[in-house]
Chain A
C-alpha cells in the first residue's frame, strides 16, 4: 500500500514537474528562426563601418550616395528591430502559453489517472496553477496588448518604409538629406514600444470615430490629395490588386469606409489611411 502511494506520488511529481517546467519556460519548442550568418552586433558593426567609408560631404548632393546611406541605416534598424520584436514575442508567449499549458496539462492528467488521491492532488495542483493564472490575468491582457502594439509597430514601420522608398526615387533637392534623416528617425521610432503605443492609441481613436460615423446613411468629406491618398489609389488601381483585400483590412470593412480613405483630407483619415497602407504593405497587397 505504502509502495503504491509512493509510486502514485512519484507519478504525480513527474507530471507536475513536466507541466511546471512548461509553465516556467513557456514555448520551448518555438524558436525565433534559423541561425544568423553573423550575430546582430557583429553585422551592425559592419554596417557602421560601411557608413563610415561613405563620403559624407557627397550625401547632400548625390542621390546615389544618399540612397546608399539610407539603405545602410534602414538595414541596421531592421536588424535591431527583428531582435527586439523576437524578444517581445518570447515574453508574450511565456506568459499566456505557459499558464494555459500548465492548466491544460494538469486537468487532463487528473482525468487520465484513476486513483482518487492522485486526482485530488493533481486537481489541487491545477487549482494552484489556475489561481496563479488568475494572478496572470493582467499579464495575459498585457500580452494581448503587446501583440496589438507589435502589429501597429509593423504597420507604422511599413508606412514609413514606403515614404522613405518613395523619397529615394527623388533628387536630392526634392528629398534632401535632412528629410531622409528625419524619416529614418521616424522609422526607428515606429519600431519602439513607445512608438507602437502612440500609434495604437491614435489608430484606435480614429477607427472608433469612423465606426460611429459609418452608421450614417450619408457622409460628407472634403477632398485632399496627399502622398498617402495617391499611394492608396495607385494600389487599388493596380490590376493585380483585389479591392476586397483592401476593404477587408479597413475598419469597418465596408466599401464606403474604404472609399472614404481614398479622398478624406482630415487628420483622423490620414492616420487610418497610413495604418491601412502599412497593413496592406505588410500583407504584400500594396508596394
Chain B
C-alpha cells in the first residue's frame, strides 16, 4: 500500500522547491491544493516500503 504524506501550510514560494525535493526523495506523485489562507497543501505519495 502506498504511503501518503500531507504537508499543510506550505508558502507559495516553497511549493516548487518542496515538490522537487519530494520527487528526489522518491515520491510517485505530488499534488498541490490552495488553502483558504493563500498557502498550499501538498499531498505526496510514496511507494510501499514493503515491496
B24 and A236 contacting across the interface, CB-CB below 8 Å: yes
A233 and B26 contacting across the interface, CB-CB below 8 Å: no
A222 and B25 contacting across the interface, CB-CB below 8 Å: no
Measured between C-beta atoms, what is the minimum distance from B28 to chain A in Å? 9
Q: Is the interface of B mostly helix, strand, loop or mixed?
A: mixed
A220 and B25 contacting across the interface, CB-CB below 8 Å: no
Measured between C-beta atoms, what is the minimum distance from B37 to chain A in Å? 12
In A166-198, which residues have CB < 8 Å from any B CB? none
Task: List, in ascending order, chain B residues with CB within 8 A of A214's CB.
Answer: 3
A223 and B9 contacting across the interface, CB-CB below 8 Å: yes
- Identify B4's interface contact among A218, A222, A225, CB under 8 A: A218
Q: How many residues of A contact B (CB 8 A)?
A: 24
B9 and A219 contacting across the interface, CB-CB below 8 Å: no
Task: List, in ascending order, chain A residues with CB within 8 A of B18's CB.
Answer: 223, 233, 262-263
Measured between C-beta atoms, what is the minimum distance from B1 to chain A in Å? 6
- Identify A263's interface contact among B7, B20, B24, B47, CB under 8 A: B7
Interface-forming stretch among A18-26, A99-107, A131-139, A250-258? A250-258
In A228-243, which residues have CB < 8 Å from any B CB? 233, 236-237, 243
Task: List, in ascending order, chain B residues with CB within 8 A of A217's CB.
Answer: 1-4
A-facing mask of B1-30, CB < 8 A → 1, else 0?
111111111110010011011101111000
A255 and B21 contacting across the interface, CB-CB below 8 Å: no
Measured between C-beta atoms, what is the minimum distance from B18 to chain A in Å? 6
B22 and A233 contacting across the interface, CB-CB below 8 Å: no
Task: List, in ascending order, chain B residues with CB within 8 A of A222's CB.
Answer: 7-9
Task: List, in ascending order, chain B residues with CB within 8 A of A236's CB.
Answer: 21, 24-25
Given contacts A254-B49, A259-B46, 7 further A-B contacts (CB under 8 A): A237-B20, A243-B24, A256-B44, A258-B25, A259-B26, A259-B27, A262-B18
> CB within 8 Å of B: which residues of A?
214, 217-223, 225, 233, 236-237, 243, 246-247, 252, 254-256, 258-260, 262-263
Subset of 21 A-B contacts with CB under 8 Å:
A218-B4, A219-B6, A222-B8, A223-B7, A223-B8, A223-B11, A223-B14, A223-B18, A225-B14, A236-B25, A237-B21, A243-B24, A246-B25, A254-B3, A255-B3, A256-B46, A256-B49, A258-B25, A259-B22, A259-B44, A263-B10
The 7 closest A-B pairs by CB, nearest first: A255-B26, A256-B46, A254-B49, A218-B4, A256-B3, A220-B6, A259-B25
